[in-house]
Structure 1
Amino acid sequence: MHDLDIGLLRAFVVTAECGSVSGAAQRLARTQAAVSMQLRRLEDDLGARLLNRSTRGMDLTEAGYVLLPYARKMLGLSTGARRALAGRSVHGPIRFGMIEDIAVGSLPRALQRFSECHPNVALELTVAESTVLSEKLSQGQLDVAIGDPALIHGRPILAWRLPLRWVAARGFAMPDEGPLPLVTFDGVCTWRQKMIEALNGGKRPWRTVLTSASLASIQSMIEAGLGIAVLLDLNIRPNTMKILGANEGLPPAPVIELGLFAADDQGLSSQPVAALWEFLSDELQAEALATAQS
């Protein structure tokens, strides 16, 4: 019995996370043919099919589900060993806050990889609205947070923009007459304000059918066909939702801004925060690339 190839395991883990060879190829900066060949080599080596391939992407087989946690741990240990030998080992707690919209996306995968690479870091996570994150940062209850710069006091270390999309249930029919039914976020939310401004600019009447502070409930109401809403790409469920646009008479969906905030002046010069951001930025850049090419 010989050792598993780390490069082949990396191709498998990234493909499993992206759900497609094309997505994995983008993240790994390789061709699709090269990634496909790595996957075949790993399956041949193990004597088991790891991924079910279809026109809709890739799903893990039973053997794939068994291998995935081991593969992630092996990759994490490999990266952690290199960092330790290079004097970049990180210790201590990091209290990290984020808004729900990105907490249910792909960032949890990056946080998992971070924990595997830095086992001596105690990662404490908080999911809350931007206003709550702002208060916790100012009170020293968080070390770093990602949220809406318009609602968090202070200047972000880094900021980036992401597009929102008009979405509805796959079976939803736009009303020919009368107001558009809207599903909106509750509380202090700049996204809701931008959505309403966009609709008012298009001169199409609208009415609110549901207001909720929970992303999960908003997604469920969209899927039930109660109305339309704006969501980030990473929160759209393609099996049950469809993207709307100019063909349905809607104005361009707004673009939102996110920022990375730190509780002190060290910012990214803090070794733990810099190490965490390295993992988060890789995931965010992959999302931005996928969005740009969609």
Structure 2
Amino acid sequence: MRRGKLDLNVLETYATVCLSGSLKSAAEHLHLTQSAVSMQIKRLEDAVQQRLLERNNQSLRVTPAGERMLIHARALLRLENTLVNAFASDPIAGEVRIGVPADYAPALLSAALPYLHGNFPAVVPSVECDLSRKLRRKIENDELDLAILTQDVDIDSGLPLWEERLVWAEPLPVEPITGGYTPIGLLDVDCVLRDMTLRLAAQHAPLHRIAFRSGNLASIVSAVENGFCASLIPQSSLSLTTNVANRLKITPVNDRLRIRLAVSSGGKPGMEAIAAFLQTQLIISARRTEGSP
């Protein structure tokens, strides 16, 4: 590939690698061999004479030049979608039903939906907030077209979005109180975080009691930050001001919340293109948030 001549198929491969986080996952998604994907990435790097990805056996990292390339690549691919849809005999149109947990609704509303109309002008989105497990059942029953949800540990499907790092946060000093039992805060709804909290509580506080229950994550975080109880919470939800950090012992855990974009198998025309658009917007937004001070 000569400098200045970019193949949209190669750009799609590159974007898929960046968004999936590995050559293997991208190859599976694109139905290509891993060596074919690697060769296309090399062709792209040769064309622009820039190192776009840093790769080893354990990880893949997008370079600063690669981040710029991803933004431009997705812009070109969105333009292609727009052109194809504009001249299609049956353009993507009508209602698209999107489910999202309340905690992730701000990301959808600020980073994705405002730009949807520019790419799919005939699409009308409707949004429903609910728990991830309820949203998954609605996806399976074709009651929703797309859903942002937290993946259960025994399920591996949907388009990857981002991961939430988890920490076990407990008040200092770390001493059992109230008869030797450590007070625990529990997100008391049917969700992955609740299951993880109950499991990890046995490791971090063998003697514990549920002292605070809430269906709202912000309430659990507030109870922890104010020293009322310990709990498993997303690291990003902690304010970690100096005052709060000095009152808490923060222990990272291996478990993470995996956020995915589930797509209904109902076969509504054009849903794959809309899902790819939403995935890109949400991932770029998540990366910007992670890079914020």
TM-score, normalising length: structure 1: 0.56
For structure 1, the 5+ residue unaligned runs are 1-26, 31-77
The alignment partner of 1:254 has SS state of strand
Matches of 2:84 and 2:123, distance apart in 1: 15
Q: Deviations over 1:8-40 (max 9, x none)?
A: xxxxxxxxxxxxxxxxxxx9948xxxxxxxxxx
Matches of 2:145 and 2:285, distance apart in 1: 20
What residue number does 2:157 align with?
A: 156
> How has the CA–CA distance of structure 1 residues 242 and 100 changed in structure 2, closer, same or farther, with 3 Å as cutoff?
farther
What residue number does 2:186 align with?
A: 184
Aligned pairs (5 A) from 1:1-294:
29=64, 86-87=83-84, 91-104=93-106, 106-115=107-116, 117-118=118-119, 119-150=121-152, 156-159=157-160, 161-167=163-169, 172-178=171-177, 179-202=181-204, 204-239=206-241, 242=244, 248=249, 250=251, 252=253, 254-264=255-265, 270-287=272-289, 290=291
> How has the CA–CA distance of structure 1 residues 157 and 135 changed in structure 2, closer, same or farther, with 3 Å as cutoff?
closer
> How has the CA–CA distance of structure 1 residues 272 and 165 changed in structure 2, closer, same or farther, with 3 Å as cutoff?
same
Q: Is the 8 Å Cα contact of residues 198 and 253 (structure 1) preserved in structure 2? A: no
Matches of 1:270 and 1:224, distance apart in 2: 45
Percent of counterpart pairs with the same letter?
Answer: 18
Matches of 1:204 and 1:250, distance apart in 2: 16
One-letter amino acid of the counterpart of residue 273, structure 1:
A
> How has the CA–CA distance of structure 1 residues 29 and 136 changed in structure 2, closer, same or farther, with 3 Å as cutoff?
same
Q: Is the 8 Å Cα contact of residues 99 and 148 (structure 2) preserved in structure 1? A: yes
Matches of 1:249 and 1:157, distance apart in 2: 31
One-letter amino acid of the counterpart of residue 261, structure 2:
L
For structure 2, the 5+ residue unaligned runs are 1-61, 66-74, 87-91
Give the count of matched residue pairs.
213
